Structures are given as structure tokens and as C-alpha cells.
Amino acid sequence: MPAAIKRIDRDLLLEMSDDEIVHEVVAILRRVVPHDLVDVQPDSRLIEDVGIDSLGTYELVMDAEDRFGIEINDDQLLEVKTVRDVVEFVKSQVE
């Protein structure tokens, strides 16, 4: 069953570099796609490159909300297409 995800402290999150947030997002993606993740870059597209499916997208949303303490609505989700988009969205919500 889905393992609980520990929330990153907000102050800690504010100090994290983009690379560190990318690393966190990839850790979530690893739970969401059935295959091994190799060479995921900030520009990797979630559907085409990472191979996330439609329900996996909602899994990513749930896990990202839990991990980063943010809220992502369905209309905002349409704008999120790459790993970098996730990182930018997280930063915009935290700041």
C-alpha cells in the first residue's frame, strides 16, 4: 500500500537549490512509473519522456502536495509538462 511521505520543512524547502528539488521530484516519479528511471533531466517531459500515465499524474500531484506542503489544482496541472515545470510550480507556491 502507498507508503506515507514525510513533508519537507518549509524553511528547508526555501533554501533548497533547483537541483535539490529536481532530485526530490525524481524520487516521487520513481514511485509512480513502473520502469527504472534513467537520465531524467529538468527538461524531461513527464508523459513523453518519463512515461507517466494519466493516473500517475494524479499520484504525482498527491505525493508532491504531501512532500512539499503545497496545493495543486487540476487547472494548474495543465501547465505542468516537464520536471522543471514541477520544480517552478513548487517554488512559486512556497514563495
Provide the minimum distance between the beta carbon of 64 and another protein in the complex, in angstroms, as a whole number: 10
Q: Are 80 and 21 in contact (CB under 8 A)?
A: no
Site for another protein in 49-88 (CB under 8 A): 55, 58-59, 61-62, 65-66, 71
- 53 has catalytic annotation: yes
**CA dist., res. 54 & res. 68, Å (int):** 21
Residue type, 90: V
Pick between residue 66 and residue 85 the one whose CB is nearest to another protein. Answer: 66
Residue 46 makes CB contacts below 8 A (sequence gap 6+) with 29, 52, 57, 60, 80, 81, 82, 83, 86
Residue 80 makes CB contacts below 8 A (sequence gap 6+) with 46, 72, 86, 89
Site for another protein in 29-48 (CB under 8 A): 30-34
Provide the minimum distance between the beta carbon of 38 and another protein in the complex, in angstroms, as a whole number: 14
Provide the minimum distance between the beta carbon of 79 and another protein in the complex, in angstroms, as a whole number: 19
Residues labelled catalytic: 53
Where do contacts with another protein occur on this chain (CB under 8 A)? 1-4, 30-34, 55, 58-59, 61-62, 65-66, 71
